[in-house]
Amino acid sequence: MSNFKIAVAQVPSIKADVTKNIEVHLNAIAKASVLDISYIVFPELSLTGYEPSKALTLAFSSDDRRLKPLIDSAIKNNIKIAVGAPLKSDGKPKIGLIIISETGEIETYEKMNLHPGEEKYFSNGSRYHSLTVESTVIANAICADTNNENHALSCFNLGASIYIAGVLIGKSGYVSDTKLMAEYAKRYNMLVAMANHNQPTGIWSPVGKSAIWSSSGLLACASEIQNALVVAEKNNAVWCAQVIEI
């Protein structure tokens, strides 16, 4: 087996067009498979775009038929994937992450820390989520979760050595948000990775620049607009990373 690899995908999302967005995801997953990546994570609400007012009608359930192409791809490519989508719930939907295993099993994580204003359309989750890949515990986060140090600390205390988030970050928040992520990597000796959008979605203009940090600092960062995988590889207990265009 090759060295352990994880990736974050920097891709655009078309407003409310789940079919087209899945096609973009499938292309990225196929590329990740060629690179022998074990786990790939996409940006916040990647399947629908960031469209809070449409979240209720677009929301997914774990057995949603729209997920079938992604399930088939995970099985075919022997890879775990995590895609962003609103999740059905009692009352308001949740901002969710749908994790699909290489055997087609589905788990979900619901964003615990909402950004101001999101409470109008969404309710928050209450449970942390992690998975074990090749004996490595990976904790999942979504955007504003990473602004709450207690979230990262709790994931570390639950045994995570990788902290990975799908986000939507614009130019004004990028420096402060990524400074926190770099600090978590150093303070908790975790690999920290984030997948950002690279094209406008909803009313927001994301800045791209998806990145991965280790305790020694920034390992790799995509440009603002490129479609890319940011890939981290562990070799003899040392992490390195690179950006690969899709």
Tens digits of per-residue pLDDT, 9-25?
Answer: 999 999 999 999 999 99
Residue numbers of the domain that contains 114: 4-245
- Model confidence pLDDT, tens digit, residues 56-76: 999 999 999 999 999 999 999
What is the number of domains present in the chain?
1
pLDDT confidence band for 1 (50 / 70 / 90): very low
Mean pLDDT of 133-158: 97
The answer to whether residues 166 and 42 touch, using CB atoms and an 8 Å cutoff, is yes
pTM attached to this predicted model? 0.97
What average pLDDT does range 84-107 have in this prediction? 97
Looking at residues 108-118, what average pLDDT do you find?
97
Residue 2: its pLDDT value, please? 57
- Strand (E) or helix (H) holding 8: strand 4-10
Name residues whose C-beta falls within 8 Å of residue 243's C-beta, 6 or more positions apart in sequence.
220, 221, 222, 223, 226, 228, 229, 230, 231
Task: Give residue-wise pLDDT tens across range 153-163.
Answer: 999 999 999 99
Burial of residue 106 (CB within 10 Å: 0-12, 13-18, 19+) is: middle
- CATH number of the domain that residue 123 is part of: 3.60.110.10
> Rounded to whole angstroms, how far apart are CA atoms 84 and 132?
19
